[in-house]
């Protein structure tokens, strides 16, 4: 028997960590129609910039009988780029009520309405001669991105076993990188990056949406949502069995049952909850650093650095693909390593490496005319910064937000995270031109300081969450939140506690009534 027990333990452990086919399909279909489109729309406007500005000018001249002035054209283009973030903020705000009412899976499906609507508006704007359609399409596409970047991590975190929760969460980051790469490939002059075919770049958006609509309906809803919001225990059990690839899911059902009487927490209630105070602060800081760490500045300088290295302007679009290739490889490597190394070392290490390479890049750009090899050092630093970002900061913030909070708190937590994400994104787009104009190549030192501050905070505050339950993670924060684990559970499950007290009172009343009846008899 002694020899059999370890075998049983190994078998059960292997059963827990298996990736079921339904889990893989759900993660791929969910990410392809969500985070892929976010990455794609971040990059898609870069290649046809010249042709879109020309379209703005032609539309303006046709309508008003005069050429658009340079200041107005620059303003229109800035709005075209930044309005995507405003739509994202709106999407992040409306996610909480949508996921509560429709569920996680159905939120992703309904969200495709925004994607298809945006694709049609942007693809037909040239035919209609209306640049307002392009602007409206960008903001609608931003709403789609804001909803998907909140709903998808919630869905993935609730359908995955804790042993592979981090690796599955990295699917979001991987598909963002693939989306950026796809936009760069389709934006090449031989494909859609030319004057006659640039609207097709926006029409392509409908393809991932239709694929997601064709696959997700055949997969189960989040088992936590089915059990906690719909009181559908049999449906939740089938969903657990489908996603976990095993028949015995009694342990998972018990964990979810413990939260049955807990109502969905609002943002204000979550912010007032002392037991998750440092979790919220950590999410806010990681999300802010995710956007403010300077990766957008890297994309701004890429073409000029490649040009300084002697690469011809015709070849630069093809060489730029190497940056996206590095992004994808780094994100995949992070997904494979996150369950072995943990979240903490990848996140802190990623920000730390970015500090080093930002400093080296600043020196190489400042003195690049003094030595022929310095532009090549700058290219290496750019690729190293992108790789450092993708191994940790590029995807783990979304994973942490899903791990820090109970299912009843997750929608509110992702709304906070999404708001910080999109406000920071908009701030970078708005302020970076002024920072770059004022500091020139020294602007990278600002981002180095941001990365250093983020790494320092995470070093002292962030616990390792690998293979830990929500209660274990809460216990790691309990001392810093100045609450006991019992107090934490009381604050997280007040309705459940009230329900238990009511049951105890009813039970006592029943006993008293029984004694009274006995006395009467």
Q: What is the CATH number of the domain that holds 186?
A: 1.20.1250.20
Same domain, 203 and 289: no
- Residue 44 tokens read as 């898609």
| Dist. CA 441–CA 365, nearest whole Å | 6
Please report where in the chains the tokens 């999407």 appear, as a residue. Answer: 91
Q: Is 209 in the same domain as 273?
A: no
Asked whether residue 24 falls in the same domain as residue 170, the answer is yes
Domain boundary among 219, 254, 276: 219
Longest dimension (CA), the chain: 106
- Among residues 219, 252, 284, the one where a domain terminates is 219
Shared domain check, 327 and 211? no
Domain extent for 473: 263-486
Q: Are residues 150 and 54 in the same domain?
A: yes
Burial grade of 340 (CB within 10 A; 0-12, 13-18, 19 or more): exposed
What span, in angstroms and rounded, lies between the C-alpha atoms of 315 and 221?
47
Q: Do 203 and 287 lie in a common domain?
A: no
Task: Quote the CA–CA distance of 482 and 484 in Å, as a whole number.
Answer: 7
Tell me, yes or no, whether 136 lies in a domain. Answer: yes
Q: Which of 424, 407, 443, 448 is nearest to 286 (CA)?
A: 424
* Cβ neighbours around 500 below 10 Å, total: 12
Say if residue 203 is in the same domain as residue 290. no
Does residue 417 form part of some domain? Answer: yes
Q: Answer yes or no: do 182 and 300 share one domain.
A: no
Same domain, 324 and 210: no
User: How many CB atoms neighbour CB 261 within 10 A?
Assistant: 16
Q: Please check whether residue 149 lies inside any domain of the structure.
A: yes
**Number of other residues whose CB lies within 10 A of the CB of residue 180:** 24
User: What tokens appear for 250 in the block?
Assistant: 């009694």
In a domain, 123, yes or no: yes
Does 456 fall in a domain?
yes
**Residue 479 domain flag:** yes
Total tally of structural domains belonging to the chain: 2
Question: Are 67 and 189 in the same domain?
Answer: yes
pLDDT values of the chain reduced to their tens digit, one per residue, 521 residues? 444 444 444 444 444 455 788 899 999 999 999 999 999 998 888 888 889 999 999 999 998 888 888 888 888 888 888 889 899 999 999 998 898 889 999 999 999 999 999 999 999 999 999 999 999 999 999 999 999 988 998 898 888 887 787 778 788 888 998 998 999 899 998 999 888 899 999 999 999 999 999 999 999 999 988 888 888 888 989 998 999 888 888 888 887 777 666 677 888 999 999 999 999 999 999 999 998 988 877 766 677 677 766 777 778 888 888 888 888 998 888 888 888 888 999 999 999 999 999 999 999 888 888 888 888 888 899 889 999 998 889 888 888 888 898 888 888 898 899 999 989 888 887 777 778 778 887 888 999 999 999 999 999 999 998 888 888 888 989 888 887 655 555 455 444 444 444 444 443 444 344 443 444 33
Given 198, 219, 240, which residue is the final one in a domain?
219
Report, in angstroms and rounded to the nearest whole number, the Rg of the chain calculated over CA atoms.
Answer: 26
Place of tokens 């290219």: 379
Q: Is residue 256 part of a domain?
A: no
Same domain, 332 and 209: no
Residue 31 is predicted with a pLDDT of 93
Sequence-separated contacts (24+) of 191-199 with Cβ below 8 Å: 192/47, 192/48, 193/47, 193/48, 193/317, 194/51, 195/51, 195/54, 198/47, 198/48, 198/51, 198/52, 198/126, 199/122, 199/123, 199/124, 199/125, 199/126, 199/127
Task: Give the DSSP per-residue string, 352-402.
Answer: HHHHHHHHHHHHHHHTTTS-TTHHHHHHHHHHHHHHHHHHTTTTHHHHHHH
- Whether residues 207 and 268 share a domain: the answer is no
Asked whether residue 30 is domain-assigned, the answer is yes
């Amino acid at each position: 028997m002694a020899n059999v027990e370890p075998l049983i333990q190994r078998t059960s452990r292997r059963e827990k960590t298996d990736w079921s086919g339904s889990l893989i399909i759900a993660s791929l279909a969910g990410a392809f129609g969500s985070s892929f489109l976010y990455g794609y729309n971040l990059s898609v406007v870069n290649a046809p910039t010249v042709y879109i500005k020309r379209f703005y000018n032609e539309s303006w001249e046709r309508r008003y009988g005069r050429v658009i002035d340079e200041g107005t054209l620059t303003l229109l283009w800035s709005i075209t780029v930044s309005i995507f973030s405003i739509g994202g903020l709106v999407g992040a705000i409306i996610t909480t009520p949508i996921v509560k009412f429709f569920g996680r899976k159905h939120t992703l499906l309904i969200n495709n309405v925004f994607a298809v609507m945006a694709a049609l508006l942007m693809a037909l704007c040239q035919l209609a001669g209306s640049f307002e359609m392009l602007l409206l399409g960008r903001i609608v596409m931003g709403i789609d991105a804001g909803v998907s970047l909140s709903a998808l991590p919630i869905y993935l975190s609730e359908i995955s076993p804790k042993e592979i929760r981090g690796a599955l969460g990295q699917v979001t980051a991987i598909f963002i990188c693939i989306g950026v790469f796809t936009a760069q490939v389709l934006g090449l002059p031989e494909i859609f990056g030319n004057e006659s075919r640039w609207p097709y770049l926006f029409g392509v958006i409908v393809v991932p949406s239709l694929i997601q609509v064709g696959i997700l309906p055949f997969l189960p809803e989040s088992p936590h949502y089915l059990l906690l919001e719909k009181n559908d225990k049999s449906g939740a059990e089938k969903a657990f069995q489908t996603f976990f690839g095993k028949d015995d899911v009694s342990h998972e059902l018990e964990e979810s049952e413990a939260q049955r009487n807990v109502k969905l927490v609002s943002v204000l209630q979550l912010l007032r909850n002392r037991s998750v105070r440092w979790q919220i602060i950590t999410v806010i800081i990681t999300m802010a650093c995710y956007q403010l760490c300077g990766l957008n500045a890297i994309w701004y300088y890429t073409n000029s650095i490649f040009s300084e290295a002697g690469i011809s302007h015709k070849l630069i679009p093809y060489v730029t693909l190497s940056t996206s290739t590095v992004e994808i490889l780094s994100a995949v490597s992070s997904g494979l390593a996150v369950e072995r190394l943990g979240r903490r070392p990848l996140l802190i290490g990623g920000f730390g490496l970015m500090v080093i390479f930002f400093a080296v890049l600043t020196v190489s750009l400042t003195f690049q005319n003094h030595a022929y090899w310095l532009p090549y050092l700058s290219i290496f630093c750019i690729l190293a910064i992108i790789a450092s970002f993708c191994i940790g900061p590029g995807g783990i913030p979304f994973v942490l937000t899903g791990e820090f909070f109970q299912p009843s708190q997750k929608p509110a937590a992702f709304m906070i995270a999404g708001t910080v994400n999109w406000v920071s994104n908009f701030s970078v787009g708005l302020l970076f031109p002024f920072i770059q104009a004022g500091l020139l190549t020294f602007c990278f030192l600002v981002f180095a300081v941001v990365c250093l501050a983020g790494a320092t905070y995470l070093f002292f505050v962030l616990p390792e969450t690998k293979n830990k339950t929500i209660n274990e993670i809460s216990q790691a924060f309990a001392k810093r939140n100045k609450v006991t684990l019992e107090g934490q559970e009381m604050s997280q499950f007040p309705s459940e506690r009230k329900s238990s007290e009511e049951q105890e009172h009813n039970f006592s009343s029943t006993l008293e009534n029984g004694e009274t009846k006995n006395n009467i008899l």
